[in-house]
Amino acid sequence: MASRTGLNVIKLLGLKASPNTNRVQIALNLKGIPYELSEEDLFNKSELLLASNPVYKRIPVLIHESNPISESLTIVEYIDEVWSTHHQSFILPVDPFDRSLARFWASYLDNVWLPLIKKFREDPPTEEEAKRGYLDKINEGFLLLEEAFVKCSKRKAFFGGDNIGYLDIALGPFWSWLPAVETLTETRLVDDTKTPNLCRWGPRFFSHEAVKDVLLGPDQLVDVVKMFQAKGWNKSTRPS
């Protein structure tokens, strides 16, 4: 979403191909908040990024009223709290139990399942037995997330119910990477017979007004990965 000019411009330091940046973009779009996306060169990080996130030195960083906020889901929660009355839409569930459940699964994504996907994408095992072990762990995550969707969505369209919410934002940008990961690793990851609800959820999420102009397509993501690899891919420069 285009930003308004002026002193109170909300700046987002990030990258279009970064799913963590995409999380923040979608949250801002949901709230109808204009912002300016300042794309970072991860091989030559800006002084603003390094000063704004001196601990991790990584994207995304939201700068609001001169205050930097780091880490994608922390930023999403900040947006939900600061603009709580915008569009009468809450990103986090209002019910305390549902809210704790959403945070639990978001933590599982960031600390357990997504690191498996990333490692498989960056350095897939060459031995068949090791590859199968990795895929078993990834598939276990798919099944757990399928169960989480059924429970959290309460038979509605999104994890957040009738509209996209915290878990949709946490998972959706990474879900959009899966076709690219399948192409890059020559491995099928998504099985719609095992995760039918998630496979129906994905297109609904991608076509949402707050999402559809944010995410890159699979071919574009493959090109991004190849570009990073050609420049010297490593953990500090990957578009995470």
Q: How do residues 18-36 score in pLDDT, each as one tens digit?
A: 999 999 999 999 999 999 9
Residue 2 has pLDDT above 70, yes or no: no
* Range from 24-28, 44-48, 87-91, 135-139 carrying the lowest mean pLDDT: 87-91
pLDDT given for residue 13 in this prediction: 99
pLDDT given for residue 89 in this prediction: 77
Overall average pLDDT of the 218-232 stretch: 92
User: 24 exposed, middle or buried (CB, 10 Å; 0-12, 13-18, 19+)?
Assistant: buried
Q: What distance separates the 2 farthest-apart alpha carbons in the chain?
A: 57
* Range from 83-87, 189-193, 220-224, 234-238 carrying the lowest mean pLDDT: 234-238
Overall average pLDDT of the 94-105 stretch: 97
Q: How do residues 147-202 score in pLDDT, each as one tens digit?
A: 999 999 999 999 999 999 999 999 999 999 999 999 999 999 999 999 999 999 99
136-140 contacts: CB < 8 A, separation 24 or more? 138/113, 138/189, 139/191, 139/194
pLDDT given for residue 146 in this prediction: 98
pLDDT given for residue 126 in this prediction: 85
* Range from 18-32, 70-84, 176-190, 225-239 carrying the lowest mean pLDDT: 225-239
Residue 6 has pLDDT above 70, yes or no: no
Q: What is the pTM of this model?
A: 0.93
Distances (CA, A) of 81 to 9, 30, 190, 232: 18, 13, 34, 39
pLDDT given for residue 1 in this prediction: 46
Q: How far apart are CA 114 and CA 144, in angstroms?
A: 13
pLDDT given for residue 125 in this prediction: 86
3-state SS track over the chain: CCCCCCCCCCEEEECCCCHHHHHHHHHHHHHCCCCEEEECCCCCCCHHHHHHCCCCCCCCEEEECCEEEECHHHHHHHHHHHCCCHHHCCCCCCCHHHHHHHHHHHHHHHHHHHHHHHHHHHCCCCCHHHHHHHHHHHHHHHHHHHHHHHHHHCCCCECCECCCCHHHHHHHHHHCCHHHHHHHHCCCCCCCCCCHHHHHHHHHHHCCCCCCCCCCCHHHHHHHHHHHHHHCCCCCCCCC
pLDDT given for residue 186 in this prediction: 93
